Amino acid sequence: MEREAHPEVLSIENSSPPFDPEIGDYAIIGDCRTAALVSRWGSIDWLCLPDFSDGSVFAGLLDPVNGGSFFVRPRQHFVTRRRYIPDTAVLETEIETATGTARLLDLLPIQDGISPMGPMRELLRVIEGTAGEVDLSVGIDVRPDYGRKSANLKKRGPLGWCWIWGNEILALRSDLLLEPAPSGLAGAATIRAGEKRVLSLSYTRNDPAVLPLLGREAENRLAQTIAWWRDWASQCTYRGPYRDIVLRSAITLKLLAYCNSGAIIAAPTTSLPEAIGADRNWDYRYCWLRDAGLTNQALVSLGYSDEARSFLGWMLHATRLTWPELQIVYDIFGRTELEEAELDHLSGYKNSRPVRVGNGAYSQRQLDVYGEVAMAAETVVRNGHSLDPLEARMLAGFADVVCRRWYEPDSGIWEIRGPRRHYTFSKVMCWVALDRLIKLHERGAIVLRSPVERYRRVKRSIEEVIENRGFNKELGSYTSELGGNQVDAALLLMACIGYRDASDPRMVSTHDLIQRRLGRNGLLYRYEPGYDGFNSNEAAFGICSFWAIDNLAKRGDVKAAERAFEHLITCANDVGLYAEEIDVSTGAPVGNFPQAFTHVGLINIAVAIEDARQEVYRGRA
């Protein structure tokens, strides 16, 4: 069901790309340590080194003038078509001009730990002439640390060029002739059919620089990376009708998983706005525990239980410093201090300021995270993995925290800034935490600290509060807050996570009210306008739209679920990627990109539809 890549015709003076490309014009490449965004016009406008949340060397995405970029494009008018090499994260862009065609392959080679010594990170760009000839321009403008630092550019003879700042070095090797330009390096070349050129940009910090070889060795790194991704993709167990888009979502999740720890970040970008020109710009290059339960559910459902186990292992290791309390967000190394700062020298995506690094949400209280971590653990154990003694003790400790704090106000799943409130969904996730931890206890995976009846009693008390104060009888719906009259899309998860059956009358009426209040053009906003205290509106929230479909599938309305799902598939960009949000008028991606949580939603709902379809078939047999 993955849409065929469509051509983008460029007809602009001097063949320059748009000054502000759309978010959907980008595709992601990566090596499971960091990631780059490549525009359909061959420009790399975002890359942080050495890891996801480190400073950028290319941030043209957030400031076309001062951010830095690395482009390869024709000197005449051209058309591009792009796709991922099937079952990989290697991007192929076909370039067509009046005189010929070429293809550009972009990747970050995978380091398997077995091959000979290589650089700390490498960005590899391979240009192949396929017909006629194409005149190309190349430009590299390195701006370290979000453009806050200056790099010293040096020529290293036959070893190419390098940029040096502090204890970091970025080395460029190529068989193209490049010379200093007002902004970094620039060059031009004519590529004819059958010819191939390579650009290798490698990074090292604190160590002697290792310079990758070109020629056959570069082709080997390309082939090895394609083989690595295809081997990983072959393990996907989903065999339903949406395999292409599901596998693309799985590969995107893998790209956002930090291989050295198992942590999965929300997105590789910062400050792509939820509303152009507003203040809704946040740094998403961190790991949110609120995503954990659904993420592990998605991974396990596709056969990637080892990745789910690694993610759980990272969570339980990272949270030791705050145990038994849980912080809502950590960086990939488990650091807890994510102080938020604004980069005033960057203009922001389409002049949407501020550009932020760090995320102040780390200091919020969010009670739903206990349910998410418990869900993640129960999913892993139910699928054959075990817990070590320390992990089991940590999980048991969370049950006591929930019993002690479930009735307190918090900032909720949507991290509403300002006074804490009694969110209904936070209470639901406290119920889920006890539900899953009791199941782990009954399996013998953990040993709760008090008699199990204590936790069952608290679980019943939470449910009574939810049903008596979290459900508005006049509206016929669960509400965002206890005793409230507004709804938010997180309430749909009550059916997805097993608190209530999707066919329960209260869930059906809640689903219907949410659709009436928050739905538009087959998409869902996450809450009602103004609920978060901002004056500006935001776009529809991608994963919320998938939650609504999950409710349809779980109540057995397979045809309606399929129709809604196939509509949402059209909101992916041409290479199958989603941002955090979706413009309800155009279907265009909005916000940080690509967003792990949206792809998690797609996977879970594709699996739910297939499960519902099989259930219907079994009922007819």
207-253 pLDDT, tens digit each: 888 999 999 999 999 999 999 999 999 999 999 999 999 999 999 99
Roughly what angle, to the nearest 10 degrees, separates helices 305-318 and 368-382? 140
Distance between CA 482 and CA 484 in Å, rounded? Answer: 5
| Cβ neighbours for 118, distance < 8 A, ≥ 6 positions apart | 109, 111, 210, 212
pTM: 0.96
d(CA 507, CA 194): 61
Find, among 166, 344, 167, 182, the residue nearest to 271 by Cα. 344
User: Is the confidence at residue 117, as pLDDT, over 80?
Assistant: no
**200 pLDDT above the threshold of 50:** yes
CA–CA separation, 196 vs 130, rounded Å?
Answer: 9
- Confidence band, pLDDT 50/70/90 cuts, at residue 617: confident
Rg (CA), the chain: 25
Tell me the residue length of the chain.
Answer: 621
Q: Three-class SS of residue 266?
A: coil
Q: What is d(CA 345, CA 56) in angstroms, rounded to the nearest whole number?
A: 14
CATH 1.50.10.10 residue spans of the chain: 243-620
Please tell me the predicted confidence (pLDDT) of residue 16.
55
Q: Which fold has domain 243-620?
A: Glycosyltransferase (1.50.10)
3-state SS, one letter per residue, for 300-337: HHCCCHHHHHHHHHHHHHHHHHCCCCCCCEECCCCCCC
User: In one letter, which amino acid is 281?
Assistant: N
Residues 173-179, mean pLDDT to the nearest whole number: 96
According to DSSP, the residues that pair with 95 across neighbouring strands are: 80, 102
Which residue, among 475, 398, 480, 409, has the nearest Cα to 441 in the 3D structure? 398
Question: What is the CATH T-level fold of the domain 8-233, as seen in this structure?
Answer: Beta-galactosidase; Chain A, domain 5 (2.70.98)
Please tell me whether the peptide bond between 594 and the residue prior to it is cis, using omega within 30 degrees of 0: yes
**3-class secondary-structure state, position 298:** helix
Closest CA to 366 of 424, 414, 419: 414
Under the banding of pLDDT at 50, 70 and 90, the label for residue 11 is very low
Q: Which of 56, 352, 311, 49 is closest to 205 using CA atoms?
A: 49
108 neighbors 120 (Cβ within 8 angstroms): no
Separation CA 21–CA 383 (nearest Å)? 43
pLDDT at 116 over 70: no
Asked if the bond preceding 144 is cis, omega within 30° of 0, the reply is no
Residues of the chain with CATH 2.70.98.10: 8-233
